[in-house]
A and B are shown apart, each in its own frame.
Chain A
Amino acid sequence: MTLASLFAQADGGVNVAQNVGFYIIAAGMLWAAFRVVSTKNVVHAALWLVVVLGGIAAQYILAAAEFVAISQVLVYIGAVMVLFLFGIMLTRATIGADTDVFNKGWAVGIPVALLVFGVLAYVTIDFTEDSLLVDPTEEQIAATTTAISDGYLGPYLVPLIAVSFVLLAAAIGAIVLARKD
């Protein structure tokens, strides 16, 4: 008997362990995201971004999307973060904390962000009201990856080929832009 099975379905359909995990991870993610946009050290911002991306992967697992979670870890934490760290190391003039990391009009961002959040939160709560998410069954979770591959090789085949061309064009374009003549 694990702790999770002890807590599961204790409150009339609400999965308590899932909720506790969600709120702990969400609090850590929000703090890390705040540090990403507020820290003065560029390298620290990149490392806080790792925390946010890892938290999002954990939320995917809570939402029964294991394949996307693994892809998130491989692509973002594995590849994109290495790109970011290379970009910082190749462009950064100062070591340690920067002096002026904000624009002159940075304070405008606060009301804009609050307005965006207010509108999104109002619409979200108005749209979902108090509906509950239904936990997927074991069979659905086990068949998720099969269903994704069926989607990619079925109705989404043409977009998949298009995305592969986008990636090819982006790779060639990045080489052309960044090489020294």
Chain B
Amino acid sequence: MWAFNFLLLSAALFSIGVFGVIARRNAVMVLMSIELILNSVNLNLIAFALMNNSIDGHVFALFVIAVAAAEVGVGLAMVLMIYRNRRSISLDELSEMKG
């Protein structure tokens, strides 16, 4: 198996996630795109662990999974609070902090 297979796949997933973060209007969909990005990074870590015959990549991937779970919990709580206050989670309407 070519060494760049996993890395190219995760680069493609990362780019699709970046597009989703930029283009999506719904805050929940933006969180889903962030999940795509975090998963592509995890795939990279596992591929590096395989390339270097080392276990550290697995350990780091599990750390990233734990932090991503925390991030989704806090992110969705924030989305819920915004929805409760404004009856909308469209990100382009949140402009109170605009300078």
CB distance from A12 to the nearest CB of B (A): 13
- Number of cross-chain contacts by CB at 8 Å: 247
B13 touching A68 by the CB < 8 A rule?
no
Q: Is the CB of B47 within 8 A of A37?
A: no
Q: Which of B3, B23, B35 has the most CB of A within 10 A?
A: B23
B70 touches A56 (CB 8 A): no
> How many angstroms between the C-alpha atoms of A100 and B2 in the bound complex?
41
Distance A114 CA – B15 CA, assembled complex (angstroms): 7
B contacts with A, residue count (CB < 8 A): 72
From the candidates A63, A83, A90, A112, name the one contacting B72 in the complex (CB within 8 A).
Answer: A83
A24 at the interface (CB under 8 A from B): no
Residue in contact with A26 in the complex, picked from B4, B9, B33, B79, CB distance below 8 Å: B9
Q: Is B62 an interface residue (CB 8 A)?
A: yes
Docked Cα-Cα span, A45 to B6, in Å, equals 24
Over the window 58-80 of chain A, the binary record of Cβ atoms lying under 8 Å from chain B Cβ atoms (1 yes, 0 no) is 01100111011001100110011
Closest CB-CB distance, A161 to chain B, in whole Å? 12
Answer yes or no: B69 CB below 8 A from chain A CBs: yes
A166 at the interface (CB under 8 A from B): yes
Tell me the B47-87 residues at the A interface (CB within 8 Å): 47, 49-51, 53, 55-56, 58-59, 61-63, 65-74, 76-81, 83-84, 87
Cα A100 to Cα B90 with chains together (Å): 10
Chain B residue nearest in CB terms to A133: B1
Contacts of B59 in A (CB 8 A): 148, 151-152, 156
Within A89-106, the residues touching B (CB, 8 Å) are 90-91, 93, 98, 100-104, 106
Residues on A lying within 8 angstroms of B by beta carbon are 14-15, 18-19, 22, 26, 29-30, 33-34, 36-37, 42, 45-46, 49, 52-53, 56, 59-60, 63-65, 67-68, 71-72, 75-76, 79-80, 83-84, 86-88, 90-91, 93, 98, 100-104, 106-110, 112-114, 116-117, 120-121, 124-125, 128, 130-134, 136, 140, 144, 147-148, 151-152, 156, 159, 163, 166-167, 169-171, 173-175, 177-178, 180
Not counting A26-B9, A116-B14, a sample of 20 additional A-B residue pairs whose C-beta atoms are within 8 angstroms of each other reads A14-B1, A30-B13, A30-B16, A36-B33, A49-B32, A53-B39, A65-B50, A68-B42, A87-B79, A91-B80, A91-B83, A103-B92, A106-B22, A108-B22, A120-B15, A133-B1, A151-B55, A163-B67, A167-B69, A178-B81
